[in-house]
Amino acid sequence: MGEPLLSIDNLHVKFARSEDEVYAVNGVSFSINENETLGIVGESGSGKSVTLMSSIGLLKENGTITAGTANFQGRDLLKMHRKQLEDIRGRDIGVIFQDPMTSLNPVMRIGDQIMEAMLTHHYAGRREAYDRTLQLMHEIGIPDPKTRFRSYPHEFSGGMRQRIMIAIALACEPQLLIADEPTTALDVTVQMQILALLQDLRRQRGMSVVMVTHDFGVATNFCDKIIVMYGGRIMEVAETDHFIRETAHPYSIGLKRSIIEIGHKGKEILPIPGATAAITEEPAGCPFAPRCTYASARCLQEVPELRPFGTDHQIACHHAEEVVSLVR
């Protein structure tokens, strides 16, 4: 296997607030290869979106990258000037944002918004961009593209607006697609349609996809590999099939137990005790320790390093072997 398409190494991000600082990402490292799908899973506030958005230069004004690299095709995105990043975003790296209603321009016709990416990046001339926009609208399942080209976002349903976001992200045939909670606020049927569409488009184009989601079902049904994040750190990494069979981190196990699975009628749903909290000091131990039933004094005092745990499996837990023996 060749060099990774995107490789993030030891990324640290924090946000300034009036009263303190939030340590949002704390030493995250991972890579994605060509033609691979990677799912990053965790509760809101775990650092999933911040990790990806900061790596491509989409960081809020009060955010600062304090350490790390993000190499895309051998170039460090974190060292690029704004114009260089703008050239890569939308052309080589496409992004589907969380909320299509706030991401789309409400006073701009849908077709023009899809064309805009191609014209901005000089991917195609106006006539070619128009023809390609109609083709994309047809591919993503928008009926009567010529007529709907002139429609505005409010004239589409939530599912159709999400399809438009996908078309915009794919307009310049990117090599990497970042899908940030692409099925949030959609009903289950539409979710499945959107995921199936993304899967088909990924296969047709041979691109890589990073799926950021809080939904285990979305990640395990779509992705080749799963990363679980909590408190701005990676808790567990494994190939999807292996992850489903051998989930080992207490947080990952807690997430799996807190969802409803088809075919498990009457199965008790066990929520994870406590709630996520912003990390406002330099992390001194495992961020999940305050909510973990297996935590020891060591967990509160020593940050667990991400280490090999069997074949194609990594885990950041001092007591992983003990946890696995108890839950089997």
**Count of domains in the chain?**
2
* pLDDT(258) > 80: no
Q: Give the angle 134-136-139 at the CA atoms, nearest 5°.
A: 115
Domain of 138, in residue numbers: 102-171
Instruction: For 112-121, write each residue's pLDDT tens digit.
Output: 999 998 999 9
* pLDDT(186) > 80: no
Evaluate whether residue 210 is within a structural domain.
yes
* pLDDT(309) > 90: yes
Evaluate whether residue 78 is within a structural domain.
yes
More confident site: 302 or 191:
302
Q: What is the pLDDT of residue 201?
A: 87
Alpha carbons 272 and 293: distance in angstroms, whole number: 10
| Cβ atoms of 49 and 212 closer than 8 Å | yes
Alpha carbons 239 and 46: distance in angstroms, whole number: 21
Evaluate whether residue 300 is within a structural domain.
yes
Instruction: For 50-69, write each residue's pLDDT tens digit.
Output: 999 999 999 999 999 999 99
Evaluate whether residue 211 is within a structural domain.
yes
Instruction: For 131-165, write each residue's pLDDT tens digit.
Output: 999 999 998 889 999 999 999 999 999 889 988 99
Same domain for 67 and 205: yes
Mean pLDDT for 27-40 is 95
Same domain for 177 and 161: no
Evaluate whether residue 97 is within a structural domain.
no
Same domain for 21 and 151: no
CATH number at residue 276: 3.40.50.300
Same domain for 237 and 204: yes
The least confident of 38-52, 95-109, 132-146, 252-266 is 252-266
Same domain for 293 and 191: yes
Same domain for 13 and 63: yes
Same domain for 185 and 163: no
Instruction: For 212-240, write each residue's pLDDT tens digit.
Output: 998 888 888 889 999 999 999 999 999 99
Same domain for 111 and 41: no
Q: What is the pLDDT of residue 295?
A: 94
Q: Per-residue confidence at 98, pLDDT binned at 50, 70, 90?
A: confident
Mean pLDDT for 85-101 is 88
Mean pLDDT for 174-187 is 86
Same domain for 307 and 179: yes
Q: In what order do the strands lie in the sheet with 75-76?
A: 21-32, 6-16, 63-72, 75-76
Mean pLDDT for 19-43 is 95
Same domain for 282 and 147: no
Same domain for 16 and 49: yes
* Contacts of 132 by beta carbon, 8 Å cutoff, 6+ apart: 118, 124, 171
Evaluate whether residue 32 is within a structural domain.
yes
| Cβ atoms of 26 and 231 closer than 8 Å | yes
Evaluate whether residue 1 is within a structural domain.
no
pTM over 0.85: yes
Evaluate whether residue 18 is within a structural domain.
yes
Same domain for 183 and 165: no
